[in-house]
């Protein structure tokens, strides 16, 4: 498909309420993506430039000096007949000693066991891994028998949590394979059943991106690569294992994961993967809503919210998931508008404090500008916010607790801005609202305290939402 061939430029102009509330399906099918070609002339501050391949290759070559280009980097289906590539690398210093213990005990008992996934990827990219997962030929019951301090979790696909001190968990999963295509219905590629045990190479191949499918052999100090992931680590690109269109249709949440890894790890996306994101974005509407909600939160939590949402907007993914926000952004027509500045400030503070903000703070910040637009001048701000949020809450399965807190913060916001805090200052919601306020003010260039002192605001303290009855509108 030639770049941008089936997409027409976005209409601009002020949004109407009707446009804001366009249905999910309409947003997915009719709205054109803001393909890289269309945005070529947009002014994007270098620091905030989204990490899409086109821009990376033009402006910032990857660290090893090789130009990131699609040519020759698209993997075909993994060929396992010749066995995996083995790369001698000593990752010992970065590994978690407890993960090493798990691997060693499994291999001593005759099983294959490797450190896999994000931990290996992050070490190779010289990042601090969040955690370490193990993949093994041992069945869950065998793992359970070897580790007294473990428990089997999961109903459909069982895996084992091996528990260590201070709440550390080493997730240990038996190799599994992707279901046969013959097990799927008709042309439908969506994977509904992902719980069949398999071999090591099948386990590598069923993973999402090549950089996430590298196995580390602790004993021989080697990375075992069945899928061509090492060249992608070296070239710093995100690529699906196999055809990106197929892999995104199998599981559309992978689209959000591609955006997350590209943004968080500063990796390029090859043109074929970028085009597949644009092409398949509509299928996000079929993904499980709690997974979408969780992945969107991950985009906000990890210090790369600005780049993530930019990429999501540019590819049209935001039109599908958050058409309300995407319409607002298109109307604002500014690359340096408040929403973008808020996300940049959020990233700065997240990195500074080294931990994510509360989910309520994240959702309020993301939606604050469009919410202010719909609530300003309204007599009943809570009701106006309710009407704006309701379709979004349904679409993404936003927990009531969060939606309710967002609404209440937005309703009280003008009073915060005016410094009239009153009794609200004594409610559990105040700490969260104050974090939103400080980040928002920081983004608008006001001087604010450099660090937010005092205890971290935490919405788990909030009482559950009162069940709200919709009031009838008076005509
Ligand atoms: P993070 O650092 O964000 O945790 P991660 O790569 O560890 O990144 P997880 O969600 O913890 O991501 O998943 C662990 C591994 O499971 C991934 O590295 C990948 O190999 C595999 N995986 C996760 N989600 C999918 C998916 N939707 N499709 C295929 N494989 C997946
Ligand atoms: Mg992980």
**Residue-range definition of the domain harbouring residue 367:** 17-68+239-461
Tallying the residues shown for the chain, one arrives at 475
Query: Given the CA of residue 119, which atom of ligand 1 is nearest to it?
Result: 7
**Alpha helices by DSSP H, 209-322:** 229-235, 244-250, 253-265, 271-280, 289-301, 305-314, 317-321
Residue 195: CATH number of its domain: 3.30.460.10
- Asked whether residue 474 is assigned to any structural domain, the reply reads no
Could you tell me if 221 and 245 lie in one domain? no
Could you tell me if 122 and 28 lie in one domain? no
- Asked whether residue 409 is assigned to any structural domain, the reply reads yes
Could you tell me if 27 and 144 lie in one domain? no
Could you tell me if 435 and 290 lie in one domain? yes
Residue 426: CATH number of its domain: 1.10.3090.10
Look at residue 437 and give its three-state secondary structure. Answer: helix
- Asked whether residue 11 is assigned to any structural domain, the reply reads no
Q: What pLDDT does residue 34 have?
A: 52
Domain boundary among 195, 227, 259: 227
Could you tell me if 245 and 140 lie in one domain? no
Tell me how many domains the chain contains. 2
Provide the 8-state DSSP code for 435: H
- Asked whether residue 475 is assigned to any structural domain, the reply reads no
Tell me, using a 6 A CB cutoff, whether residue 222 lines ligand 1. Answer: no
| CA 129–ligand 2 middle distance (angstroms) | 8
Residue-by-residue pLDDT tens, the chain, 475 positions: 333 222 222 222 223 232 333 223 333 333 334 544 443 333 233 344 433 333 332 323 222 222 234 444 555 566 667 789 999 999 999 999 999 999 999 999 999 999 999 999 999 999 999 999 999 999 999 999 999 999 999 887 889 999 999 999 999 999 999 876 655 555 666 655 566 889 999 999 999 999 999 999 999 999 999 999 999 999 999 999 999 999 999 999 999 999 999 999 999 999 999 999 999 999 999 999 999 999 999 999 999 999 999 999 999 999 999 999 999 998 876 667 999 999 999 999 999 999 999 999 999 999 999 999 999 989 899 899 999 999 999 999 999 999 999 999 999 999 999 888 888 888 889 999 999 999 999 998 865 554 444 556 777 766 555 555 555 555 4
Q: Report d(CA 170, CA 165) in Å as an integer.
A: 11
∠100-104-107 over CA atoms, to 5°? 140
Could you tell me if 186 and 219 lie in one domain? yes
Domain boundary among 181, 204, 227: 227
Q: What pLDDT does residue 462 have?
A: 67
- Asked whether residue 75 is assigned to any structural domain, the reply reads no
- Asked whether residue 5 is assigned to any structural domain, the reply reads no
Tell me, using a 6 A CB cutoff, whether residue 212 lines ligand 1. Answer: yes
Query: Given the CA of residue 253, which atom of ligand 1 is nearest to it?
Result: 27
- Asked whether residue 300 is assigned to any structural domain, the reply reads yes
Could you tell me if 132 and 23 lie in one domain? no
Domain boundary among 227, 256, 290: 227
Could you tell me if 254 and 106 lie in one domain? no
Residues forming beta bridges with residue 151, ordered by sequence position: 161
**Buried b vs exposed e over 329-365: b needs ≥16 C-beta within 10 Å?**
bbbbeeeeeebbbbbbbbbebbeeeeebbbbbbbbbb
Q: Which of 78, 116, 172, 212 to mutate to test the pocket of ligand 1 (most atoms within 8 A of CB)?
A: 212
| CA 117–ligand 2 middle distance (angstroms) | 7
Could you tell me if 355 and 405 lie in one domain? yes
Look at residue 429 and give its three-state secondary structure. Answer: helix
Could you tell me if 342 and 433 lie in one domain? yes
Q: Report d(CA 315, CA 104) in Å as an integer.
A: 44
Q: Report d(CA 134, CA 28) in Å as an integer.
A: 37
| Interacting residues of 352 by C-beta distance below 8 A, sequence separation 6+ | 451
- Asked whether residue 407 is assigned to any structural domain, the reply reads yes
Q: Which of 131, 132, 208, 226 to mutate to test the pocket of ligand 1 (most atoms within 8 A of CB)?
A: 208
Tell me, using a 6 A CB cutoff, whether residue 253 lines ligand 1. Answer: yes
Query: Given the CA of residue 121, which atom of ligand 1 is nearest to it?
Result: 6
Could you tell me if 317 and 390 lie in one domain? yes
Could you tell me if 43 and 181 lie in one domain? no
**Whose C-alpha lies nearest to ligand 1, atom 7?**
118
């Amino acid at each position: 498909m030639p770049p941008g061939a089936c997409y027409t430029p976005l209409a601009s102009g002020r949004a109407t309420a009707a446009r804001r509330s366009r249905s999910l399906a309409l947003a997915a099918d009719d709205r054109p993506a803001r393909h890289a070609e269309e945005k070529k002339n947009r002014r994007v501050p270098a620091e905030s430039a989204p990490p899409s391949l086109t821009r990376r290759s033009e402006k910032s070559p990857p660290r090893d000096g090789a130009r990131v280009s699609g040519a020759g980097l698209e993997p075909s289906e993994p060929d396992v007949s010749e066995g995996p590539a083995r790369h001698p690398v000593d990752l010992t210093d970065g590994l978690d000693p407890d993960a090493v213990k798990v691997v060693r005990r499994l291999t001593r008992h005759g099983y294959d066991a490797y450190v896999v996934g994000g931990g290996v990827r992050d070490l190779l990219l010289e990042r601090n891994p969040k955690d370490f997962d193990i993949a093994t030929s041992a069945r869950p019951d065998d793992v359970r028998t070897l580790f007294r301090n473990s428990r089997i979790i999961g109903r459909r696909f069982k895996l084992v949590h091996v528990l260590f001190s201070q709440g550390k968990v080493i997730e240990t999963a038996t190799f599994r394979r992707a279901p046969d295509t013959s097990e799927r219905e008709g042309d439908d590629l969506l994977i509904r059943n992902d719980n069949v045990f398999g071999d090591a190479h099948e386990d590598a191949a069923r993973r999402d991106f090549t950089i996430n499918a590298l196995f580390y052999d602790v004993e021989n100090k080697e990375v075992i690569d069945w899928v061509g992931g090492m060249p992608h680590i070296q070239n710093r690109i995100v690529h699906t294992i196999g055809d990106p269109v197929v892999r995104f249709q199998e599981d559309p949440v992978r689209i959000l994961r591609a955006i997350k890894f590209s943004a968080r790890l500063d990796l390029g996306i090859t043109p074929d993967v970028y085009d597949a994101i644009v092409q398949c974005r509509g299928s996000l509407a079929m993904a499980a809503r709690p997974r979408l909600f969780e992945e969107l939160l991950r985009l906000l939590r990890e210090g790369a919210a600005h780049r993530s949402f930019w990429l999501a907007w540019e590819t049209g993914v935001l039109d599908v998931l958050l058409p309300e926000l995407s319409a607002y952004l298109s109307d604002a027509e500014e690359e340096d508008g408040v929403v973008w500045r808020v996300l940049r400030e959020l990233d700065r503070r997240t990195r500074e404090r080294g931990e994510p903000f509360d989910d309520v703070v994240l959702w309020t910040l993301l939606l604050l500008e469009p919410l202010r637009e719909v609530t300003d001048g309204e007599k009943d701000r809570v009701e106006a916010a309710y009407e704006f949020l309701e379709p979004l809450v349904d679409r993404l399965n936003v927990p009531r607790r969060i939606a309710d807190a967002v609404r209440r913060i937005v309703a009280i916001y003008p009073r915060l801005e005016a410094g009239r805090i009153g009794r609200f200052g004594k409610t559990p919601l105040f700490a969260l609202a104050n974090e939103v306020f400080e980040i928002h003010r920081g983004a608008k260039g006001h001087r604010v305290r450099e660090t937010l002192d005092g205890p971290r605001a935490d919405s788990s303290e909030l009482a559950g939402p009162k069940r709200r009855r919709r009031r009838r509108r008076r005509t």
